[in-house]
Amino acid sequence: MAEPQALYATDEYGRPFIILREQAKTTRRHGIEAIRSHILAARTVSNIIRTSLGPRGLDKILISPDGEITVTNDGATILGQMEVEHQIAKLLVQLSKSQDDEIGDGTTGVVVLAGALLEQSEALLDRGIHPIRIADGFDRACVVAVEHLDKISDVVEFGPGNTSNLLKTTMTSLGSKIVSKEHQQFAQIAVDAVLSVADLERKDVPFDLIKVEGKVGGSLADTTLIKGVLVDKDMSHPQMPHSVRDAKLAILTCPFEPPRPKTKHKLDITSVEEYNKLREYEKDKFEDMIKRVKDTGANLVICQWGFDDEANHLLMQNDLPAVRWVGGPEIELIAIATNGRIVPRFEDLSSEKLGHAGVVREVTFGTTRDKMLVIEECANARTVTIFVRGSNKMIVDEAKRALHDSLCAVRNLIVDNRVVYGGGSADISCSLAVAKAADEIPSVEQYAMRAFASALDAVPLALAENSGLSPIETLAEVKSRQVQEGKSSLGIDCLGKGNNDMKEQFVFDPLISKRQQLLLATQLVRAILKIDDVIVAGEAED
């Protein structure tokens, strides 16, 4: 029997040891070395995204496997499209996604903060502090920081006639986006859209009532808000009327065609009489369907499926305009907007199930005379559509992502109308508060709390660096002014307005967004610090 083969390896101190072939099937990195490798992987991802932070942040160009190009500085989009292999780096991608799903804004900042916390924890590991003690210290510091955020937050008042504060917060969200040239207009559109659908008493914003459509052509300035539903379809026949007033909509998910067996079927026609009989049967069925629709009082048909030329011709002859191949989500939105019911069978159609709208019209735009259908003055006036224009698909897609962030910023203020000030001012203020609290902690966790305070400086440092300022000098100056003047609203003057007071510059961040960044980043770092062993199962050899 052959002896097992041996592999020679060395440990971190250069001492050789032997691994038998059976043992080599499992690769292990154990203890502090494993944690260091995790921190390195996470910091690599954080450093990639760091340059995209703030109003002067740079964009990334992402190329998909099939060659499609995306240009963006949205943290969640960059991380979502990156090919990340390392397990810990994947956790950062999920961190950014959870911030995007829960809050919608601050996806870059949360990753930068997590990367800074891991960088600080590496220095603490070098000093021999146990990972669990570091994690506990970070937790205590996070509690102090979140409580301090509550203290420095301000309440912003808004109402139907007072939207200026909402507008300023939205403009802060859009300041770093590709639409910043038109960010006054985009901010106004976002505020108007959210207030149109919001239930202010319940503090609820149903996003499914806001649809964002985009078409290439025109400029960003041509972007408009439509009080109703926009569908990328036109009338099924060019001779049908292009506008219907006082529209009564039959919303159908059944096709205009004769019924057929559900399973495979075959029909043999062997004579002219049989062919004529089949033609008459189909014609009778079509006429019966159209009669059922007309009898309900409907003057417009919205159909999820298509219909053939004969049905189309009969609809036109019977003065019944129709739109075909309308997708499922659009059908649902039209039903909600017009207070109509979606009807799955012609037999179920009745006048009570019709949707109602003041006007349904085709709009044409661009030199290509593209056509779209606009449903306005709907029975349910809360439904709105934002129609984005742009010079190419890349700009339209990025404008849609920017609008998503701004809509979320307004939504956050309606849920909780407290704000902290941007430009890194809240981070600096929390850093000072955590450092002060650390002096009162007698245990070894005070080192972790001071490290947390240093990590909070990462966001203002990145803002200063991305704005072309000297990061350390700028941060030191703002920090000393916050201590001397006692103003927590002093931050980094990214746009060079000559004023560091973010309150006067109207740079607002929703409180729940900043709080969520601190909580999520701390939770993730704690999870990474508790992983001390990576076991990768190797493939068994023959």
The pLDDT, as a whole number, for residue 269 is: 81
Q: Based on the residue annotation, tell me whether 74 is a catalytic residue of this protein.
A: yes
Which 3 state secondary structure label does DSSP give 132?
helix
The span from the CA of 128 to the CA of 126, in Å, is 5
Contact yes or no for 170/409 (Cβ under 8 A) = yes
Q: Return the DSSP state at 538.
A: P
Joined together, the tokens standing for residue 73 give 């500085």
Does residue 405 have an active-site annotation? yes
Which residues, listed in sequence order, are joined to residue 387 by a DSSP beta bridge?
213, 224
Q: Of the residues 108, 163, 338, 385, which is catalytic?
A: 108
Which residue in 405, 457, 493, 509 is the catalytic one?
405
337 contacts 357 by C-beta, under 8 angstroms: yes
Task: Look at phi and psi of residue 496 and say left if phi exceeds 0, alpha if psi is from -120 to 50, else beta.
Answer: left
Give φ, ψ of 168 to 5 degrees: -65, -40
Annotated catalytic residue 108: yes
* Ranges in the chain, pLDDT < 70: 1-31, 159-161, 261-263, 366-368, 534-542
Annotate 306-359 with DSSP letters as a single string.
Answer: -B-HHHHHHHHHTT--EE----HHHHHHHHHHHT--EESSGGG--GGG-EEEEE
Report all structural domains of the chain as residue ranges with CATH numbers, in order of start: 30-154+423-536 (1.10.560.10), 157-214+387-416 (3.30.260.10), 228-380 (3.50.7.10)
| Contact by Cβ (8 Å): 43, 89 | no
107 in active site: yes
Q: Which of 51, 70, 72, 74 is catalytic?
A: 74
- Among 72, 107, 163, 385, the one annotated catalytic: 107
Place of tokens 């006036």: 381
